[in-house]
A = this chain, B = another copy of it.
Amino acid sequence: MAQPDNLSEFDLIKQYFVRQRAGRATLGIGDDCALLTPSAGKQFAISSDMLVEDRHFFAGADPRKLGHKSLAVNLSDLAAMGARPVAFTLALALPQADRAWLAGFAAGLFALADAHDCELIGGDTTKGPLNICITVFGELAPGQALRRSHAVPGDDIWISGTVGDARLALAGYRMEQSLSAEELASAAVRMHTPTPRVALGHALAENKLAHAAIDISDGLVGDLGHILKASQVGATLDVDALPAGPILALQDTGLRRRFAAAGGDDYELCFTAPAASRAAIAALAITCGTPATRVGCIEAEPGLRLVDANGVALDLRLSSFDHFSD
């Protein structure tokens, strides 16, 4: 970051985060609290994510991309619940008040917020090691939430978009995997600026097409595991059916399987739906502009069985990301 200048806490908020546009909130930034009410007959879905330098992003990361990603990972939680974004709060610890950084961060943040009509209604700023904590509010009708506990045997397992390129980019940065500059740049887009699948998640819930959903942040196998545990079911996953990202698809089979199944940082949706929903989901995927791929099925037998395209069991020895073990 460049040298700070004399930007006070209140000037910082006013210059970079208060906007002159009408919003949904009864009261936004500038009082002890914001005031917000869900639309008639709706409830709030609420999620918080905290992003820490050197943990969730590299030191020196492009602030514009970081602004995007900070909100994207939260919107992804709303998508996984089937909620429509409404508003968010932003708490920000910064080593210093750097104008260029703030301008970039705010630009990336608000570009995504505006695309989803999601209003910044409050928050906090303080000096400290770089830390970004967003709490997001969406709304949905009672009973429509795509809960982790609602998968049932016989459900198809679906994945939105593609998986694994974010993990491949990380391997490229770490020199664990040799990638051309073009390949790395392409895969890195998925790592730095993930696309939350808000329209698809909301439409799945609103049209009652899916039973359960989760967003893939720590790797598909681990995240699907949360659905299986909460729903007290098992599953068979066709690893070769997983929609690998375009750069990962160029890599060898072993790497492709591992990174698609357990890469992490994908922010795609993994959802389960009855076979009766197949045609409607396929149509919805086209409407939303987000591909959806069937990759397995929910079964009564506990456990997750990974198989190849021929149905032969695979032993990939995967592990999900854990913040206190990894």
A114 within 8 A of B: no
Which of A188-214 touch B at CB < 8 Å? 213-214
Min CB–CB distance A97 → chain B (angstroms): 4
Does A9 interact with chain B (Cβ within 8 Å)? yes
Contact across chains for A230 and B30 when beta carbons are under 8 A apart: yes
User: Per-position contact with B for A131-171: 1 when CB-CB < 8 Å, else 0?
Assistant: 10101011000100101110000000000000000000000
| Residues on B with beta carbons closer than 8 Å to the beta carbon of A135 | 48, 89, 91, 135
1/0 contact string of A64-91 vs chain B (CB within 8 Å): 0000000000000110110100000111
Binds B, one of A39-47, A177-185, A243-251: A39-47
Cβ-closest chain B residue relative to A87:
B46
Q: Are B32 and A322 in contact (CB under 8 A)?
A: no
Q: Is A12 an interface residue (CB 8 A)?
A: yes
Write the nearest CB–CB distance from A106 to chain B, whole angstroms: 16
Chain B residues within 8 Å of A32, by CB: 45, 47, 77-78, 80-81, 148, 213-215
Considering the chains assembled together, what is the distance between the CA atoms of A56 and B129 in angstroms? 13
The segment from A120-128, A257-265, A290-298 that touches chain B is: A120-128
* Min distance, Cβ A156 to any Cβ of chain B, angstroms: 20
Task: Tell me, yes or no, whether A4 is within 8 Å of chain B by CB.
Answer: yes
A133-B127 Cα distance, complex, nearest whole Å = 14
Q: Are A30 and B128 in contact (CB under 8 A)?
A: no
- CA–CA, A12 to B320, complex, Å? 16
CB–CB A127/B55 < 8 A: yes
Contact B47 A126 (CB under 8 A): no
Please give, as numbers and ranges, the residues of chain B lying within 8 Å of A104 by CB-CB distance.
none
Contacts of A49 in B (CB 8 A): 91, 124
| Contact A38 B38, CB 8 Å, known A50-B126, A131-B128, A230-B30 | yes
How far is A205 from B45 in the complex, measured between Cα atoms in Å? 27
Complex Cα distance, B167 from A195, in Å, reads 46
> Is there contact, CB below 8 Å, between B36 and A43?
yes
Whether a CB of chain B sits under 8 angstroms from the CB of A307 is no
A38–B35 CB distance below 8 A = no
How far, in angstroms, from A30 to B230 measured CA to CA in the complex?
9
Q: Which residue of B lies closest to A55 (CB)?
A: B128
- Tell me the bound Cα distance from A12 to B324 in angstroms: 9
- The smallest C-beta distance from A116 to any residue of chain B, in angstroms, reads 15
Task: Give the contacting residue for A38; candidates B37, B80, B230; CB below 8 A.
Answer: B37
Q: Which 5 A-B pairs have the closest CB atoms?
A: A52-B128, A33-B45, A133-B133, A50-B91, A32-B80
CB pairs A–B below 8 angstroms (12 shown): A4-B324, A31-B230, A32-B47, A35-B46, A37-B43, A37-B142, A50-B128, A50-B131, A93-B131, A127-B323, A129-B131, A131-B131
